[in-house]
Amino acid sequence: MAAVAASALAGMGSAAGQPLPVPYQGQAGQVLTLVAAQSTDTTATLIGWQRSAGGWQRGLGPFTAYVGWQGIGRASEGSTRTPAGVWGLTEAFGRRPATRTRMPYRRVDASDWWVSDTKSPKYNTLQRCAPGTCPFNEAAGEDLGQAGPVYDHAIVIDYNRNPVTPGAGSAFFLHISAGHPTQGCVSMPADNLRAVLAWLDPAQHPVINIGVSP
């Protein structure tokens, strides 16, 4: 899939650009659009776009992805809604070694946690501590190394990270699909996720633009 993604980018040159399926006014050189037909849908279409001299060019996809059980909209802790909006994509992690990727990548195990404890000052951050020793409520956190194959590879969605608002929602990732909607993350088949990892270039300040068809 990485080779397919690379070949899709080749020869774009300054060809006339295409309109993005949802509005975007930022400066990113790469944008993943994730668009559902309705806000209550549990699947959406993901396409990777590369900025060129002529405008936006399709560089990846389209892929079908699962979103949250409650669809797309305003996220919060305890809901199963994927957050609408534009969010940075700055790092990746996984239980398995990195495939071809330029993203900063962290290999995780059972001592790596994403904190969802709304009372903790470490809320919505990645922390490392042995199970049973963590300075937050482990029952309100996610042990990344114990989550199974869905986290063999994953990309962090920078929702509610800077600044962090307690209760606004935590632990939103692009990850491998388990074959059904999610608790709010975005999931897709492993080959497609690896293609996204291979395509993303941190020098382009990539973002994901999550929304509903106008």
pTM here?
Answer: 0.91
Q: What is the pLDDT of residues 180-204, one digit of tens each?
A: 999 999 999 999 999 999 999 999 9
Q: Residue 9 has what pLDDT?
A: 41
- Name the stretches of the chain with pLDDT < 50: 1-13
User: What are phi and psi for residue 101, nearest 5 degrees?
Assistant: -160, 150
Q: Domain-by-domain residue ranges, the chain?
A: 62-212
Q: What is the pLDDT of residues 27-38, one digit of tens each?
A: 999 999 999 999
